[in-house]
Amino acid sequence: MTGVELYFSDIWSKTKTIIKDHDSVGKIIYDTYFDDSSLMDLSDARATIVVPTNLQKMVLSQKLQLISDSLHQVINRDVECEVLLASEVKKAQQTKVVEVSEELAGSDNVLPFYTFDNFIVGPSNKESHSASLACAYNPGKFYTPLFIYGNSGLGKTHLLNAIGNYIKQSDPNSKVYYTSSSEFVSRVVNSIKDNSIESFKETMNHLDVLLVDDIQFLAGKEKSHEIFFHIFNELVNNRKQIVLTSDRDPSEIKGLEERLISRFSSGLSVGMDSPEFETSLAILRFKMENQSLDSSMIDDEVLSYIATNFSKDVRKLEGALNRLIFYSINFGSGERIDFKTALGAFKGSSTSSDKNEISTTKIKRVVADYYGLTRQQLVSKSRTKNIANARHIAMFLCRKLLDLPFMKIGEEFGKRDHSTVMNACGKVEENIKKDSNYKQAMLEIEKILTQ
């Protein structure tokens, strides 16, 4: 520690002692949220406090007055306090390096807190997880590019960075670079402006691993297409690893050149889906553990409620958990969170509506869950027996419960034509008649859908 850091740590530990003894902060709250905070900077007018988790940031930000009053008692002056996440500080420092040097070297942009260790695997993401791990384990050898697609909040950015972190750790000499496609575009634009495009291409061409997030934002940016195409080919030809993510399948990204789409599809494409109930519960438990929250702090019934109603994506799950804890600290007893507290916390907030109403999305999800498949598999081209069987059942249910036209159902299931859907529905009807196990499965699925 430098002298200044020692000075800060001394001030902060005295301040924390005052906070700890304050009436509005009990032992659990102090230990959970304040104990591992630190004072990163202190100027005449401002104090910057850093915490490891988002939840701590939220809680401390609600207690700024208390923090500032306590700090006043130690340093004898008023300062404005701000609370930052450790990851934000790191990112800000990294961005600064890039801005100053305008070089890629020295900053791989990989976000250190997204790793495979803190990624929970379940049926909805097991394909994308295992493909990512394979690429991380043996970069450039399995599939390049690996293309991961799925809706927002399902863990694409997390996996992409986990690949980067894994490779950096196993081979510190490996040149890894993470970027979003919009950042890539602005780098291209800036390099063209200041005549450094050749050196930009050169730097990119020498990477071992290129991770590009949200590639759909490359759409319509023609100059960037050309540069990206060039870099892409160079890396693939040299058996380097490229991993791309997008909110949709490569063929569905509008405004991308054909040659790019076909390149993107040339490796392996894997889809991610909304987490199932069990996975949602596992994620919630893991997030609590990660924030050093005792899992007995929240009733199981409450966790099930969140897992059922906020499982459209993982970001929503995390948000619901944070909201609940935040609410209980401010309005509850600050102790155990029961169902009543939970209902108070979520009053007025929208839960995923498709849970109560039957929709094609819900039918796909329930059928996929029932057969241990992903929604992507249901709409895929695959004719594997169990996938085709589940697909037929889902189509049949769309017809029976929603009374949709065959053509519309076909569109919903990977753009199949209406006769395929008609045949599928016919087959299901026959199977129900002749196979009692099949009929039983149908009844169970319908029950889940309508309850």
Interface ranges with ligand ADP (CB under 6 A): 114, 118-120, 125, 152-158, 283, 314-315, 318
Q: Tell me, rounded to whole angstroms, the distance of Cα 373 from its chain centroid.
A: 20
Q: To the nearest whole angstrom, how small is the minimum distance from the Cβ of residue 318 to ligand ADP?
A: 6
CA–CA–CA angle 426, 354, 317 (5° rounding): 130
Q: To the nearest whole angstrom, how small is the minimum distance from the Cβ of residue 315 to Mg ion?
A: 9
- Nearer CB in complex with ligand ADP: 182/196: 182
Phi, psi values for residue 53, rounded to 5°: -120, 155
- Nearer CB in complex with Mg ion: 156/225: 156
* Count of residues that interact with Mg ion, criterion CB under 5 A: 2
Q: Residue 128 binds which entry of ligand ADP, Mg ion, none, with Cβ cut-offs from 5 to 8 Å by kind?
A: none
How many angstroms separate the first and last alpha carbons of the chain? 60
Q: Residue 200 binds which entry of Mg ion, ligand ADP, none, with Cβ cut-offs from 5 to 8 Å by kind?
A: none
Of 38, 267, 280, the C-alpha closest to 155 is: 280
Phi, psi values for residue 105, rounded to 5°: -55, 140
Q: To the nearest whole angstrom, how small is the minimum distance from the Cβ of residue 265 to Mg ion?
A: 20
Q: Residue 332 binds which entry of ligand ADP, Mg ion, none, with Cβ cut-offs from 5 to 8 Å by kind?
A: none
Contact positions with Mg ion (CB under 5 A) in 148-177: 156-157
* Six token digits for residue 180: 């979003």
Using DSSP, state whether 46 is helix, strand or coil: strand
* Six token digits for residue 38: 């630190």
Contact positions with Mg ion (CB under 5 A) in 26-65: none
- Nearer CB in complex with ligand ADP: 200/369: 369
Q: Residue 155 binds which entry of Mg ion, ligand ADP, none, with Cβ cut-offs from 5 to 8 Å by kind?
A: ligand ADP
- Nearer CB in complex with ligand ADP: 184/406: 184
Length of the chain counted residue by residue: 451
The residue nearest ligand ADP at its CB is 155
Using DSSP, state whether 179 is helix, strand or coil: strand
Q: To the nearest whole angstrom, how small is the minimum distance from the Cβ of residue 264 to ligand ADP?
A: 17
User: Which residue, chain included where needed, has tokens 């040299």?
Assistant: 238
- Nearer CB in complex with ligand ADP: 49/162: 162
CB atoms within 10 A of CB 200: 21
Say if CB 86 and CB 76 are below 8 A apart. Answer: no
Q: To the nearest whole angstrom, how small is the minimum distance from the Cβ of residue 407 to ligand ADP?
A: 31
Q: To the nearest whole angstrom, how small is the minimum distance from the Cβ of residue 202 to Mg ion?
A: 28
Say if CB 156 and CB 248 are below 8 A apart. Answer: no
DSSP 34: I
The residue nearest Mg ion at its CB is 157
Residue 82: what residue type?
E
- Nearer CB in complex with ligand ADP: 117/194: 117
DSSP 237-281: HTT-EEEEEESS-GGG-TT--HHHHHHHTTSEEEE--PPPHHHHH
- Nearer CB in complex with ligand ADP: 302/314: 314
Q: To the nearest whole angstrom, how small is the minimum distance from the Cβ of residue 274 to ligand ADP?
A: 10
DSSP 298: B
Q: Residue 153 binds which entry of Mg ion, ligand ADP, none, with Cβ cut-offs from 5 to 8 Å by kind?
A: ligand ADP
Q: To the nearest whole angstrom, how small is the minimum distance from the Cβ of residue 411 to ligand ADP?
A: 25
Q: Residue 251 binds which entry of ligand ADP, Mg ion, none, with Cβ cut-offs from 5 to 8 Å by kind?
A: none
Q: To the nearest whole angstrom, how small is the minimum distance from the Cβ of residue 106 to Mg ion?
A: 24
- Nearer CB in complex with ligand ADP: 158/225: 158
Using DSSP, state whether 349 is helix, strand or coil: coil
- What's the rounded Cα separation, in Å, for the pair 415 and 359? 18
- Nearer CB in complex with ligand ADP: 373/409: 373
Task: Report whether the peptide linkage leading into residue 145 is cis, meaning its omega lies within 30 degrees of zero.
Answer: yes
Judged by the rule CB under 5 A, the positions of this chain that interact with Mg ion are: 156-157
